[in-house]
Amino acid sequence: MNLHSSVVIHVDIDYFYAQVEEVLNPNLKDKPFGVQQGLNMVTCNYIARSFGIKKWRPVKECLEKCPDLVLVKGEDLSEYKKFSKRIAELLHEEFGSTERMGLDEHYMDITKLAEDKLALLTDEELTNIRFAGPFYPNEEAFSKCSCGCENRLMVGSQIAQNIRDKILNELKLTCSVGIAHNKLLAKLVGQMNKPNNQTVLAPIAAAEFMAELKEVRNIFGVGGKTAERIEELGIKSISDLQNCTFEKLRNYFTQETAVRLKEAALGIDNSVVRPSGKPKTVGLEHSCPPITIRSDVEKMFQDLLPQLVEHIENDARIPEGLKVTIRQYNREKKASFKETKQCVLLPSYFKHFDEKIKLSDHAHDLIMKSVMSTFDKIIGKEKFYINLVGLCFNKFRELKRGTSSIESFLKKRKSEGETSDDNDQSPPSKRQKIVNRNSIPANVDQSVWRDLPIELQQELMRSWQSSSTNDNSSDMIKSSTFASESSQGLKLKSNGNLKNVNTLYNHFNKK
């Protein structure tokens, strides 16, 4: 397998929110200014950064460093989304498909395009091609590999320059671009010469480049908690991680995590660029002054949830997952790090009303119970010092009009590759002892069943048993569906009898 055969581009629009504000109001270009959300400044232009101002810092702190700092309110994302859509359309015209990451980042696999351009060059033209923009570590490093990656990456750098020029000419936005043989390296090398520039990386220098990034936290995808655990092993830098034996990592992490960390430290990334259709996730984050009280955190999430629902109201899909994010500040290390955890959403939490996706009655309160339960799992019993909260819908499914079956949550989803826990050899939990597993109908997913509250398990068991007695049916679930969205609350239909199960679902939260 030729590990250098691909050419991947990562496009990152420079200081996106702030740059959009500059386009909308050119008078801001020569001033230090930032975009404010709540009490924090989420991003700023490079003039402001020259005063030592950093992103995601309290406004008060930023004004102390630069009293002349101009602040623009950035809570309304509509203009940013318009520009993001235009960027995506422009890139789609050029490349056909991209992998979109948020509002301002895109990956493109341009391997075929680079090879096609190379095939059209004469021998003389091939001899005269040069890199566009900076390269790492030096030009000689590219010629040390005989797989042909040098020419592919040269052409890739020229393609990158062309797309940067087009974005600037048509949208008045500058961007920074990384060109490499995989996604991880393309993203990281693109940060070397920001803003308004590009960098191409020699494949042979991947490990050397990663070592120069120094801190393990600089590896994309390594969160604060993972970085802390790595440091507990005495690993202080990416170079240390490169030299650490795999066995040592495997003794401390799962096999999958150990492999991922080791490969990332060496610049190895086998993930492919996946063309984006509809977004796989829709999220919002709000920064805030330091919070140490749980009720204040809950208020932040309360305000964020309806805003997030507005972002999917025109989507013909509903989310079945919700990622809860917080960012904690570590006073001892004087550094912030994000932590996330996932919880489950029921389809009945959403309704299609007036051609828009809306929350069903009582769904806001039910979702908030799950959010705060998930928050408690992230924090544990430790004191916290939080300066950002976020919510992100994911695991989208096409909306099914009409009723939603409870069976869709309890049945085995073999089509998704999920497996039953029938062969689980772990000791039964207290919950499993209360409700006999052997009494559960065969089409119920054991992993989902275990996450249901005891009260709901018992209620469903009584319904199944009653159904079996009255109708000689062992599968009550097939005749039990949630009432239509227009009915009040979540109700279970069973042979004409309606049972309110709102209270039983209050604590439903996927671990």
Residues tagged active-site: 105
The answer to whether the beta carbons of residues 79 and 50 sit under 8 Å apart is: no
Query: Could you give the CA distance from residue 379 to residue 391 in angstroms, rounded to a whole number?
Result: 16
SS3 296: helix
In sequence order, which residues have a C-beta less than 8 Å from that of residue 180 and are 6 or more positions away? Answer: 8, 153, 186, 189, 200, 201, 203, 206
DSSP assignment letter at 360:
P
Which positions ≥6 away from 90 have C-beta within 8 Å?
A: 166, 167, 170, 171
Kind of pairing, strands 105-109 and 99-101?
antiparallel
Residue 49: DSSP 8-state = H
Q: Return the structure tokens found at 309.
A: 């629902």
Q: Is there a contact between 326 and 375 (Cβ–Cβ < 8 Å)?
A: yes
Question: Which amino acid, 55?
Answer: K
- Report the first-to-last Cα separation within the chain, whole angstroms: 39
- Contact (CB, 8 A) for 358 and 351: yes
* 8-state DSSP, 6: -
User: Which residues make beta-bridge pairs with 482?
Assistant: 492
Q: CA-to-CA distance for 138 and 150, rounded, in angstroms?
A: 12
Strand, coil or helix: what is 454?
Answer: helix
- Which of 192, 189, 190, 216 is CA-nearest to residue 205? 189
| SS3 state of residue 176 | strand
Within 8 A by CB and 6+ apart from 92, the residues are 98
Determine whether 10 is exposed, middle or buried from the number of CB atoms within 10 Å of its CB (0-12, 13-18, 19+).
buried
